[in-house]
Chains A and B, each alone.
Chain A
């Protein structure tokens, strides 16, 4: 038993080693795939990483993490199971021997031989067991038997290990060295006959084999019956039905009995012996250039191997290239097969030791192969999208290993990618451009609808133009409109001056909007609403939902203690606020009475670190306005703005845009749509503004930091800033809000958005520490931004100005278009990232 144990040990160690190697390999694979296909989002479109155990024909066997493919053939399928059975048998044999039930062992061994040999070989086989049950020692016979079994088993595994070493590892009882060698000598003949009979059986088709097996099954008893019948069933599962297969089977059977070797030759020659396996996933178009390599581990008997591509649903009982939507390069003749049974002369033949690569160019939909790192030239053109890497084998012994990026490729695919990247880039740079903004918009729209290859150039070109400031009228208009939209009036003013561009909106109006925005972002909602009503009297009247939203926000700000109404009642004012010159309240002040905590369930002390973050955001928003009025910073500002627009935001902008037609067609829903938009898309947009501010804030950070640090150490957050009067005011305001909501429902019908908004806001009061409550997010200054941008958009709309800046819109469209191209199989999107043009 010690032998077995040590054997197990070494096996274990191999496995452990294999595991760590596996992780390493996995890591390398991920790294390489990321490097090769940066545009791929694997959540959406996974890359092929191995062969698919599901999408293969039964003649194909997979191993080594589904990267190695070998040919089993019809018979092999059964043989595998047989091997499994032998393993079981060996185990039970060991048990029998260890218990000393020799009689039982003799029976069992005979049965095993029975199972392994086809009937006609049985006679010769028994002659190698002269002492079966007579003179020879049990140990020897056990070894001999095991040799037969193992040899047969290993033949199935295509291993070339000498029988003697195997005997040494396998036995429960060790064989003496000399006995082992005699055994292997003795058994060479037997082993060969075993092989031959197996091959013969293979070519006979299953009828004969199954027959043989059945006979074996018939004579089987207890423990073995299960295993054998599995084997038999495995055979029966093989195709019988097609007239073609029966004909061949009959033919070979008749031949087989007289001349087994000739039959051996014929196996694998017929197309019906072919079998393919494809990768787990199709090649995503966004790869741009896709590449994988296949190493020919063994060409097997005839080297009928095909490497290529196939679409979903292609018959796997064929070599790649023979059927529609299937493409392959075959090793035996070096021909390429383009959805046809007859190949075209393409390249050299390939055989054991060669590495064949297949590169799919998803930009021009072509494919070329490589052999040992040398490109063989275009093999196929006009390839359809969504092809799977595929290999096909046809004769026994063929083994190939795939490399989907697990190892470095022999061919320098990165160099090839570079070529195409620069090609696309040149195409984009050289794309003819119109002069007016309108043309651009139209062109983009057209391209999107067409989703043609060229679109990427138009789109990318548009994007490219955004980052180039100055000179071009149209471009500058876009930039300035962006600036104006977000109320960066000083920047816009300077920009307009430097580019001789008329700003579509009066500067005064911009300044007004800026003021309102500033108030909203500072959390001073009361003032903001007041100012809005003053400056744009009709706006809130016409938009009761907007007003409601603003009021809800005001309520939240009251809870927060930042709204002007509560602040003058004892709340604190933000530090950098110039309109409230009074010194900020400190929390050590006597106005912080214990009664507050009595009224509201508990008074909360918030960690200073949290408030620090809160305040930082707060301050940055305020400083935004200050800086944008700052002349020396102007050029810097407008340079940075585009870069702050992040792609996902733009996506969502686009989404909201696409909703617009709806809101126009159903006018009754107009109001609803408005709010919808606020919560969905525009909220994202406003975060642009925020980012913008904060990026600028970085430069002012140092100045502010000293002050802020002092604040943060002292700050503690309390409901409504901790003032009793303020809390009363807040509760009163809440009632008004409730009333307004009811009124609104009466006038405009039910509005779930409004309802939820109100409910969420009121929920704040239900928690002892609203800031850390599940609804506490509302108190975050970030939440001011959707409100801010909704208000901004509404104001702009009343002035007949676009709700979204065209710059952001075009970028959104560009990003969207690239995504669309990826989905529709246009590979050039791989080399035209929007970000590349935003520097």
Chain B
């Protein structure tokens, strides 16, 4: 009722403007119902296509009166219908109009109206509801507050073509979460809407199609049901394929392709199914062509990116279809230099879509280059590609930045590109800048890319280190998000691989042992694995091992014991045993193991473990401990013999696994020599 409370004040300000509209509202209060009806009809004619008039009437408080009339049974069918029509007209106006309407509780009133028997009135209510719900300002949840609404809407689907169109449209706009999908699914949306796909009315077909696309999105349950649905004896997927024929309207082709894409991604259709490979994919590529509208191109590219993301074969096919990679380069040419001067309208249009186009192109490039080195090469060879990514990384729009990072991430999987174009364009600079204060999703992508850039062979490694990456990454490891923690520790791990002593010490210092141990007890197994990896990388080459163990030996040994005792999977244990083996390779560090009976017992236990990998890692550790030529090897050999290791080694030489057998034999030789 906000609009009403403010009304007196506004009227004083807008008195001149609203004076002309006043009499429309006044007539709504006429005692003669016939006059009211005529007034409403006049009002209907006055507001059509006139946003100012709509705003005026809303300000003057027409909405509550109209709603009142609409709800009164005494009003008569015609008047109620006309009221709904006028309200629908008002909803067609600006966002503010819709907001005012929603604030006046128009939705419950209209939903109530649907219970009427009069089809015309129902249609008018649905039309108005549709208009309100397709606005972004309307809270979708309002449709689901009353549990009886959805079943009632389903039952109305059979009433007329208009009800079909409006209801499908409402569904497709109000289905935003998996919960919504489930509600609609449970009320038989699929069965009720499927036959509308072959309706004779294009509008109904289209809305039903859109409805399916939102229902199937990331929803395996719906998707699995959809593939088995028969419409007039034909499989739904075939109906969709028919809708993608090139002579069908673009909107229909695109939406049908979306449906199939979502069904495919939800696992209901195989990625090598002909309807995906030969129909959906080419259709989506066509949507990216220059002939299509900017919106369609954006939609097409995004959907295609989603479709091919997990499948390298689809990526390969897409990369050769219709020069897609070159076609996408055109997405960056908006607003075009020509349009700027000649056509203001076009410039405006271009500007509006420029960001969307760029981010869609980046997304698609990211998907295309996700797995195949040749495709990555082709992408990078596209004109000004690296420059575009670099500038994309620092664009104002978060969407573009995110997409650009994703693209960069895909391309960073190429060893060759890391060494060449990434270096040439100093990609690390904007990337590091991006990492400073970005929203989480961007951070995840960016840090993930950074992981690749920090690989030992990457020439970017040095400058990144110099720009203070260690502190940044260490702070990431303290993040709430597991993904960020993984990326942070992963990057540190990569950084520590075969690094200089100084870097290793810097990492340890920046990370602090407390944090290190916190990470070792991280609930996310990936974080644990990468932390162990970091430890292992830190503990390589003898001097480094000794130095680190001398300063942090106690804590590390504790952590190792803890993990070996804990409930962890094989990989984690193996990684831990490898750390032990590394420690055993040190000169002074060996003693830390030798004096620790507990650890030795554990090694012994793992040498007799059923898993070969663990046996191998444990044997490796022992082998390092008893290695001849090293100081004090004799004592260690003796001590370990006492503990019964020789017997175990002897047994292992009989192993069926050749590498384990070899390893055990080499160890035994240390004793024999």
Contacts and interface: CB of A to CB of B under 8 A. Distances in A.
Interface of A: 347-348, 371, 373-378, 412, 415-416, 418-419, 421-422
Contact of A374 (B246, B247, B321, B327): B321
A377 B323 contact: yes
Interface in B257-294: 278-279, 282
Nearest to A412: B278
A376 B246 CA distance: 17
A412 B247 CA distance: 13
Contact of B246 (A373, A378, A419): A419
B320 A374 contact: yes
A174 B317 CA distance: 53
B320 A371 contact: yes
A598 to B, nearest CB: 73
Contacts of A348: 320
Contacts of B320: 347-348, 371, 374, 376
Pairs of residues from A and B, 6 with the lowest C-beta to C-beta distance, nearest first? A419-B246, A377-B323, A422-B247, A377-B322, A418-B247, A348-B320
A374 B323 contact: no
A129 B242 CA distance: 69
A347 B317 CA distance: 11
Nearest to A410: B278
A420 to B, nearest CB: 8
Interface in B284-324: 317, 320-323
Nearest to A373: B278
Given A347-B320, A377-B322, A415-B245, 18 more contacts: A373-B278, A374-B320, A374-B321, A375-B321, A376-B320, A376-B322, A376-B323, A377-B323, A377-B327, A412-B278, A412-B279, A415-B246, A418-B246, A418-B247, A419-B246, A421-B247, A422-B246, A422-B247
Nearest to A423: B247
Interface in B318-364: 320-323, 327
21 contacts: A347-B320, A348-B320, A373-B278, A374-B278, A374-B320, A374-B321, A375-B282, A375-B321, A375-B322, A376-B321, A376-B322, A377-B321, A377-B322, A377-B327, A378-B323, A412-B278, A415-B246, A418-B246, A418-B247, A419-B246, A422-B246
Contacts of B278: 373-374, 412
Contacts of B247: 418-419, 421-422
A377 B286 CA distance: 10
Contacts of A412: 278-279
SS of A interface (majority): mixed
A373 B275 CA distance: 12
Nearest to B326: A377
B317 A374 contact: yes
A56 to B, nearest CB: 30
Residue with the highest number of chain B CB atoms closer than 10 Å, among A374, A419, A421: A374
A421 B245 CA distance: 12
A375 B247 CA distance: 17
Nearest to A374: B321
B544 to A, nearest CB: 48
A348 B374 CA distance: 11
Nearest to A371: B320
A331 to B, nearest CB: 14
Nearest to B244: A415
Contacts of B246: 415-416, 418-419, 422
A412 B283 CA distance: 12
A376 B279 CA distance: 14
Nearest to B274: A373
A416 B245 CA distance: 8
Contacts of B321: 374-377
Nearest to B246: A419
A348 B320 CA distance: 7
Contacts of A418: 245-247
A109 to B, nearest CB: 55
B596 to A, nearest CB: 60
Interface string B227-249: 00000000000000000011100
Contacts of A415: 245-246
A415 B245 CA distance: 6
B307 to A, nearest CB: 14
A371 B263 CA distance: 26
B296 to A, nearest CB: 15
Interface string B461-484: 000000000000000000000000
Contacts of A347: 320
A159 B247 CA distance: 46
A356 to B, nearest CB: 12
Interface string B109-138: 000000000000000000000000000000
B437 to A, nearest CB: 42
A651 B496 CA distance: 86
Contacts of A378: 323
Contacts of B282: 374-375
B330 to A, nearest CB: 13
Contacts of B323: 376-378
Contacts of B279: 412
Contacts of A422: 246-247
Contacts of B327: 377
A368 to B, nearest CB: 8
Contacts of A375: 282, 321-322
Nearest to B318: A374
B279 to A, nearest CB: 8
Nearest to B317: A374
A647 B332 CA distance: 52
A348 B327 CA distance: 16
A510 to B, nearest CB: 44
Nearest to B278: A373
A422 B327 CA distance: 24
B257 to A, nearest CB: 13
Contacts of A371: 320
Contacts of A376: 320-323
A376 B317 CA distance: 10
A422 B248 CA distance: 9
A412 B323 CA distance: 18
Contacts of B317: 374
A376 B278 CA distance: 13
Nearest to A378: B323
Interface in B21-48: none
A377 B320 CA distance: 9
Interface string B61-80: 00000000000000000000
A373 B279 CA distance: 10
Interface in B191-234: none
A378 B321 CA distance: 10
B250 to A, nearest CB: 11
A343 to B, nearest CB: 15
Contacts of B245: 415, 418
Query: Counting chain A CB atoms within 10 Å of each CB, which of B279, B282, B327 scores highest?
Result: B282
A440 to B, nearest CB: 28
A463 B246 CA distance: 26
Nearest to A411: B278
A373 B278 CA distance: 7
A418 B279 CA distance: 15
